[in-house]
Structure 1
Amino acid sequence: MGKPGETPGSSSWREDLMDKLASAFALLGLSRFAAEVYLKLLENGPMSLSGLSESLGVKISQAHLYLRELIAHGLVEVSYGKPNLYKAVSPNVLESLVEEKIASLRTSVIKRLDQLYQETLRRGRQAEKERLIYILRNWASFTSRVAEVVDAASTDLVVCGDMLFVEKMLSAIEEKERSGVNTYVLVYEVPGIPVDVSRLAGLSRVKRYVSGDLLVIADSSIAAIAQRRYGPYRSPAYGLIVEEPVIIDYIQQDFFSRWFKGVTIREDPVRTPAKFTIFRLALYEIRRLIKSGCKPEVHIYGTWVKSGLECEVKGIAVDVVFDSTPGIAQLVIDTPEGRLTVGAQDAIIEDIAAHEVHVRCV
């Protein structure tokens, strides 16, 4: 397919097609000129060697060399006679050969590279390297990384974006929900990309807001974020992959603020037992459970604020405090040792700074 506005058969249309065809031929280990020979035969039908060389403006020996290469790769058929006639195979045959090559590369190269990549990640986690922010300046690569972030979610997943962005990962989000991951989707409308509520019917928790970023966060440990500034027909120039916990916490606070103010499309109660790494969403759901008559038992994994020592505390949630003026978001729990307050990982005034909250109704 050519670029928008180009007429099939025009010189610019053919040039664009030739560029893409050359990329496909490169996967097969063939040169751009081999792609030119194939395209010439496809355009003209069966041709003799002399007719082909004349049409291409090259010597007969050169045309014959590339024909032999294309025949060996199964891209040209030969009808023997006087003279021999050469014919390009159909694009469907070319497609199957390219797909076969990609599948082979996936097995022989990509899987091995992934093994190496996973081993690098494992060593990095063991060494507790400094968390970073990475920039991706290719939109296709960024959207592939977004898919990886969605796939990485095992506890909770938040997604924010326009309909075009959300739809790309819709089936993956729905699959995460079925596997027990708590998912929260915030969708907004931009000119040229209307919100289609019917397409979101498979989601348990989805709201609509007036604006936002293109955002995915998995388990409070990794985020992918970009901004669509120029409407649907121009992809963002870059995207960020964020592993730094402090930055992720700020991004999550912004998401929660929008979620709290958003217009509900669908908001099913969270199924218990449930666990959360996003503290404010845990508070939000615990408050809903309390209002529904549930008696939420919570299991807090975190650190004591005063000592900095790790802790695990069980108790019954009796109150949830949201006060935006001083910026307080805390959980009040009754334990056998007394009443305690729980805050997020950056807690200062609370007793416990939580990094994970488990909830069940008793």
Structure 2
Amino acid sequence: MSEGDDSALARQLAHFGLSDTEIQTYLAVLENGEAKASTIADATGVSKRYVYSVCEELEDQGFVEVNDHVVPTKIRAKRPEDVIEILSNRLEEIEPALERRFSEATSRPQRFDVIKSRVTVVKRINEYIEESEQRIALSIPHSTLPRVIEGLQDAVERGVFVLLLVTDAQPDPTEFAAYDRPVASAVRSWNVPVPVMLTVDGEFGIVSSSEMMTVANSDERAISLVQERIVPTLFESFLANFWLSADELSVIEAAPLPQTYDSFEHAVFQATLHLREGTAVSACVEATPNEGGADVETVTGRVVETNQGIVDPVTNEFPIEHTLVLETDEGRTTVGGHGAFLEEYAARTVKLEAAD
């Protein structure tokens, strides 16, 4: 292949998100068909150890196969028609993102997508995290966590309520204290291969097996969905089946008051933190009564108790129960979130303030 052909191919590969090092490595593998890491290192001018790392990424993206069952390890280029099919599928996979951002759309498309690539799953997770405005719940293997940390940190800085369950490992709590920015509002760990699950704002969701994220060349598939009626159920499943079984690693400090929350669970979480610090908190809640009509009312009172299952010690009677108990001028009343049926009110927004 001529130098001009190499340059044109490199530009095209860059459009698919490959870095300069990945492109040069891939071109070297193509040139050899199959080669040892040392051969590729000589051709690209990088260390053999770095070649292994780059080739693992290329394997995840479907460009090469790494045969580590022989000594020395061999890297083989996949057939061009196979790579073209992968790249075509990748173009098709961006269609949902384009549709979500289309300025003339009046609502988000309600859809399911089957994802075949681990790399695509991670990209979709980061994409949905970037879209978040209110609440994120994520269970993810510890080995995959570095690929989503920056997005989670940005979400926390935007004021998003982030619950992070690290799975398939038992990390030291000091790991999360060492980050320059908080990774989540609360972090738990469970040393079992829990399914990967992401819910964002009751609207976006992703579900896959843990194996898809941890085993090379896995045949497992992930499901991505934009379904406003289903994703909230995934969030409840996350809390009931996984979160409460995990060990608490870290909890963020209480946010300064006053604060207004559209996510009711976030409001209960923050109220709980303030009460445990001994801070007197009042709440002004825009809510609808569960009996007596659908008109929105303003309920104001001092928060005297919370029922919740986010931080230890857990105080709710069942996993999805999250309640603010308020002392109002008319006496005590209870407020739940969207769809609340045990409490007297279902909140739409909650403003927490320091009580007089």
TM-score between both structures, scaled by the size of structure 2: 0.59
Q: Which residue of 1 aligns with 2:256?
A: 272
Q: Which residue of 1 aligns with 2:303?
A: 317
Counterpart contact for 1:319–1:331, Cα < 8 Å: yes
Counterpart contact for 2:113–2:225, Cα < 8 Å: yes
Counterpart contact for 2:324–2:335, Cα < 8 Å: yes
Counterpart contact for 2:173–2:250, Cα < 8 Å: no
Residues 1-362 of structure 1 aligned to structure 2 (within 5 Å)? 24=9, 27=12, 117-119=100-102, 122-124=105-107, 131-189=110-168, 195=171, 199-201=175-177, 202=179, 203=182, 205-211=186-192, 212-229=194-211, 232-234=214-216, 235=218, 237-257=220-240, 258-273=242-257, 274-306=259-291, 307-321=293-307, 322-324=315-317, 328-336=321-329, 338-362=331-355
Percent of aligned pairs with the same residue?
Answer: 15
Q: Could you say if the C-alpha distance between residues 227 and 277 of structure 1 is closer, same or farther in structure 2, counting changes exceeding 3 Å?
A: farther
Cα deviation 1:234-282 (Å, max 9, x = unaligned): 4572222333344323322233344344322222322134454553453
Counterpart contact for 1:186–1:206, Cα < 8 Å: yes
1:352 positional shift: 1.6
Q: Which residue of 1 aligns with 2:71?
A: none
- Structure 1 distance, partners of 2:271, 2:143, is 32
Q: Could you say if the C-alpha distance between residues 236 and 311 of structure 1 is closer, same or farther in structure 2, counting changes exceeding 3 Å?
A: farther
- Structure 1 distance, partners of 2:129, 2:205, is 9
1:196 positional shift: 6.2
1:317 positional shift: 1.5
- Structure 2 distance, partners of 1:197, 1:275, is 30
Counterpart contact for 2:122–2:148, Cα < 8 Å: no
- Structure 1 distance, partners of 2:339, 2:148, is 31
Computed over aligned residues only, the root mean square deviation of the Cα atoms, in angstroms, reads 4.0
The structure with more helix, counted as a fraction of residues: 1
Counterpart contact for 1:228–1:236, Cα < 8 Å: no
User: Which residue identity lines up with residue 196 of structure 2 in the other structure?
Assistant: L
User: Which residue identity lines up with residue 265 of structure 1 in the other structure?
Assistant: L
TM-score between both structures, scaled by the size of structure 1: 0.59
Q: Could you say if the C-alpha distance between residues 154 and 213 of structure 1 is closer, same or farther in structure 2, counting changes exceeding 3 Å?
A: same
1:328 positional shift: 4.5
Structure 1, unpaired ranges of 5+: 1-20, 29-37, 44-89, 93-110
- Structure 1 distance, partners of 2:7, 2:272, is 59
Counterpart contact for 1:229–1:236, Cα < 8 Å: no
Aligned residues: 262
- Structure 1 distance, partners of 2:326, 2:354, is 14
Q: Could you say if the C-alpha distance between residues 198 and 288 of structure 1 is closer, same or farther in structure 2, counting changes exceeding 3 Å?
A: closer
